[in-house]
Amino acid sequence: MKNLIKQLNYRFKNSSLLKLALTHRSYNDPNNERLEFLGDAVLNFCIAEKLFQEYPHYREGDLSRLRANLVNGEVLADLAKNLDLNKSLKMGAGELHSGGLERKSTLADTIEAIIGAIYLDGGIEACQQQITVWYADIFANIILRGVQKDPKTQLQEYVQAKKIPLPVYTLISIREYTDKPVFQVSCHIPTLSHMAKGKGSSRKRAEQAAAKGLLVLLGISE
C-alpha cells in the first residue's frame, strides 16, 4: 500500500476507499466492482474531455476511435503493471492459484476501481490530474499513432466499398470462469467463404477480435 500510494502520487483523505478499490470480488464483499463501474465512466469522461480540448479539428468518429484505443483493456493493464498493482491487490486463494494477479482484465478493472475511488475522495479534478500523469507518454505519441479505426469499422467499410453483404456475427459460446465470462463469436461474410472466430471478456470485444481475424484472412490487416 505504501509503495502504491507513492506511485500514485495522490494522498487519500479516506484510505478505506483505496483499500476497497484493491479488493477483488474473490476476496471479500464488499469489493471493488461498484468502484470499477464508477471509474469506467469517469475515465471515459476525462479522456473524452482531454481529446475534445487537445484536438479541435478531429471529427466525432475520430474522437470516439481514439478514446476507445486509450481506454481499452490492454492500455489499462499496462498502466496497472507500471504501478505494480498486482503487489497490492487482495484476492481469494482460488483466484491467486489460477494466475489472477497477472490477468489483464483484472488489472484493468482495478485501475478503473482506483479512478472511482479517487473521484469519490477528491472529485473530478483530482481524477483529471491523475489520468493526465498516467497518460502523459501515450498522449505525447498520439499523433504518431494516428486515428486507428477499430476492426469492425474497417471490415464494414471494406464490404461497403465492395458492395457485398455486411458481416454476420454469431455468438458461439459463453464460458464462465471465476473472474469473468469469456465470449466466443464467429464472423463471416455471406458471399465469401472466409470465417474467423474471436474471444473476449464481452461480446463486443469478441466481435472485434473476430473482425480482426477476418481482416487478416482477407489480406487487409496483419
Catalytic residues, by residue number, are: 40, 112
Query: 85 near 107, Cβ under 8 Å?
Result: yes
Query: 2 near 89, Cβ under 8 Å?
Result: no
Between CA 189 and CA 206 the distance in angstroms is: 17
What are the residues whose beta carbons fall under 8 Å from the beta carbon of 158, sequence distance 6 or more?
A: 215, 218, 220
Between CA 183 and CA 185 the distance in angstroms is: 7
Which H or E run contains 172? strand 168-175
Between CA 212 and CA 159 the distance in angstroms is: 14
The three cell numbers of residue 184 are: 466466443
Between CA 63 and CA 75 the distance in angstroms is: 17
Sheet holding 182-188, edge to edge: 168-175, 182-188, 195-200
Between CA 67 and CA 61 the distance in angstroms is: 10
Between CA 159 and CA 100 the distance in angstroms is: 39
The three cell numbers of residue 100 are: 489472477
